[in-house]
C-alpha cells in the first residue's frame, strides 16, 4: 500500500512539472521582425576589400559591418559555429556579397572544433544599430 501511495504521489509531482507546449522560438531574421534596427532587404553588399567586423552572431544570423554600414545576414539553416565565431571570411566570386554566396566561419573555442564551415547566405537586410523601439503609445499633441 505504501508503494502505491508513493507511486501516486510521484506521478502527481511529475504531472505538476509538465507544461504546455511552448510556441517555438522564431529563428533567423524572423526573430527580429518587430525590431526597428532591421531594415529593408538588400540584394548585395559591396566591399572595398572585406568586412570590418561582425556582431550579434547567432546560429543563423550575424551583423556584418563595412565602413559605416551594417547588414544583418541570415544563412540557410544553421551555421554550426556561427554563434562562437572568432573569424568570418567571405566566399564570393565578386567584390559584392549576395544571397547564394557564403561566409566562412571559424571557431576554436566553444564550437565543435571541426574546422571552418561554409554557410550559404539566404537573405541580407540593412541594420541600423542606433534605431530604438518606441515604448508605449506615441504622444498626441492637441492644438492650444
Place 13 in a pLDDT band, splitting at 50, 70 and 90: low
Whole-structure pTM value: 0.71
Taken in order 108, 112, 113, 119, the sign of the CA dihedral is negative
Taking the C-alpha atoms of residue 128 and residue 117, their distance in angstroms, rounded to an integer, is: 27
Torsional class of 96: left (φ above 0), alpha (ψ -120 to 50), beta (otherwise): beta
Q: Give the tens place of pLDDT for each residue, 129-144.
A: 999 765 543 444 444 4
Q: Is 39 exposed, middle or buried (0-12, 13-18, 19+ CB in 10 A)?
A: middle
* Other Cβ atoms within 10 Å of 132 Cβ, number: 9
Given this model, what pLDDT does residue 11 score?
A: 52
**45: its cell numbers:** 553588399
Q: Give the mean pLDDT of 51-66.
A: 92
Place 6 in a pLDDT band, splitting at 50, 70 and 90: very low
Given this model, what pLDDT does residue 51 score?
A: 81
Given this model, what pLDDT does residue 1 score?
A: 55
Q: Is 85 exposed, middle or buried (0-12, 13-18, 19+ CB in 10 A)?
A: buried
More confident residue, 48 or 64: 64
| Domain parsing of the chain, residue ranges | 26-127
Q: Give the mean pLDDT of 37-55.
A: 87
The rounded mean pLDDT for the chain is 79
Amino acid at each position: 500500500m505504501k508503494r502505491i501511495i508513493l507511486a501516486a504521489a510521484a506521478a502527481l509531482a511529475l504531472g505538476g512539472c509538465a507544461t504546455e507546449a511552448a510556441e517555438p522560438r522564431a529563428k533567423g531574421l524572423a526573430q527580429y521582425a518587430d525590431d526597428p534596427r532591421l531594415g529593408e532587404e538588400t540584394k548585395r553588399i559591396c566591399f572595398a576589400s572585406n568586412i570590418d567586423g561582425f556582431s550579434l552572431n547567432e546560429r543563423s544570423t550575424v551583423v556584418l559591418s563595412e565602413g559605416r554600414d551594417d547588414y544583418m545576414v541570415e544563412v540557410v539553416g544553421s551555421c554550426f559555429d556561427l554563434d562562437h565565431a572568432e573569424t568570418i571570411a567571405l566566399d564570393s566570386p565578386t567584390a559584392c556579397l549576395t544571397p547564394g554566396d557564403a561566409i566562412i566561419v571559424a571557431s576554436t573555442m566553444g564550437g565543435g572544433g571541426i574546422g571552418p564551415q561554409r554557410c550559404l547566405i539566404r537573405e541580407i537586410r540593412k541594420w541600423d544599430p542606433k534605431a530604438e523601439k518606441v515604448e508605449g503609445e506615441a504622444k498626441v499633441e492637441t492644438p492650444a
